[in-house]
Amino acid sequence: GNSVTQMEGPVTLSEEAFLTINCTYTATGYPSLFWYVQYPGEGLQLLLKATKADDKGSNKGFEATYRKETTSFHLEKGSVQVSDSAVYFCALSDYTDKLIFGTGTRLQVFP
């Protein structure tokens, strides 16, 4: 079945460091890909999305490119802030329109 695999956390960085969180997927057809972010005590918020191969989603300095050849959708940010500390979820929406999540990656940014 369709699935999403994320790198294990926590990812610990100093402020202004470069961030990469790896995400790969397994799916039939052409899924849409998403990154969601969850701050403590809150629900998930859509961070960015890409709906077809080579699309780049971007928001709040975060970027991810839909790579069909490597079935990947890695999240990147050039300079993280303390306020970016949260749990990040990679997800796909398959032909059934179900949203399938990875296990989440906790990011901790220290001043």
What are the residues facing 34 on neighbouring strands? 49, 91
Exposed, middle or buried: residue 76 (CB in 10 Å: 0-12, 13-18, 19+)?
middle
Q: Does 3 contact other proteins by CB under 8 A? A: no
Residues 29-68 that bind other proteins (CB under 8 A): 32, 34, 36, 41-46, 49, 51
Helix (H) and strand (E) counts in the chain: 0, 12
Stretch of 9-17, 22-30, 75-83, 89-97 contacting other proteins, by CB under 8 A: 89-97
Under rule CB under 8 A, residue 25 binds other proteins: no
Closest to other proteins by CB, 49 or 74: 49
**Cis peptide bond upstream of 31, omega within 30:** no
Shortest Å, Cβ 6 to other proteins: 10
DSSP 66-84: -BTTTTB--EEESS--GGG
Contacting residues toward other proteins, per CB under 8 A = 32, 34, 36, 41-46, 49, 51, 89, 93, 96-104
